[in-house]
Amino acid sequence: MITVEGFEKTFRYMSMFWQGMGTTVALSLLTVFFGFILALILALMRLSKFKVLKALSSAYVEIFRATPLLVQLFIVYYILFDGIALPGIKLFGFIRFDRFVPGVVALSLNSGAYLCEIIRAGIQSIDIGQTEAARSLGLNRVQTLKLVVLPQAIKNILPAIANEFVTIIKESSICYTIGVQEIMYTVASVKGATFSIGEPLLVATAIYFCLTFPTSKVIQYFERRMSRGDRR
């Protein structure tokens, strides 16, 4: 049962919620950054003329898109990082490095599979005539990709990449299962201290909303601006 007293108890731990929010944002930013790098490599492999590279990247994408993120997180934490002695330091005084890193790795591996398809579609959306024109000017394949195709493709897929950031903010909540001190970890901690669950969950819901809703609106704004620029 949700009560005023329950909220009063919960608000005593607001500093922990702010720390959890900081961890969630850090997780999301690093995930999109590393996920994008991985996705770019996978997308280029999928567009490669070498069948082995295409097969490997396709298998990676299908496996990570067809299995639960929770399973992937546990595999990374309990198997991939098993025996790896990460330093037990606390970043900024509250982020446990040895739990944070496996969380970033797992989320990045998962995000890379989804971003790969976005980047691949963005590259393929560029008119083939521009590639042919670049090659006729003496640019090789790498230069054409770097100077002509990728800049236009990234501009086209920026809204989708930004939306992936919003998605990761929500999906990062799963990292509390391995002890990452994000928002849902704070909910569990406050529940243990106050014996209340409804009030901490409502506070967490409000924080997630304040993170994702404004971000979505900003993305929509820039998407409209970019669309108007393309129509001119």
Domains identified in the chain, total number:
1
- Could you list the residue range(s) of the whole structural domain that residue 102 is in? 4-231
CATH number where 136 lies: 1.10.3720.10
DSSP for the chain, written as a single string:
---HHHHHHHHTTHHHHHHHHHHHHHHHHHHHHHHHHHHHHHHHHHTSS-HHHHHHHHHHHHHHHHS-HHHHHHIIIIIITTT------EETTTEEHHHHHHHHHHHHHHHHHHHHHHHHHHHHTS-HHHHHHHHHTT--HHHHIIIIIHHHHHHHHHHHHHHHHHHHHHHGGGGGGGT--SHHHHHHHHHHHHS--HHHHHHHHHHHHHHHHHHHHHHHHHHHHHHHHHH-
Per-residue tens of pLDDT for the chain, all 232 residues: 788 888 888 999 999 999 999 999 999 999 999 999 999 999 989 888 888 999 999 999 999 999 999 999 999 999 999 888 788 787 777 788 889 999 999 999 999 999 998 988 888 877 777 777 777 777 777 777 777 778 888 778 888 888 888 999 999 999 999 989 999 999 999 999 988 889 999 999 999 999 999 888 888 787 777 666 555 5
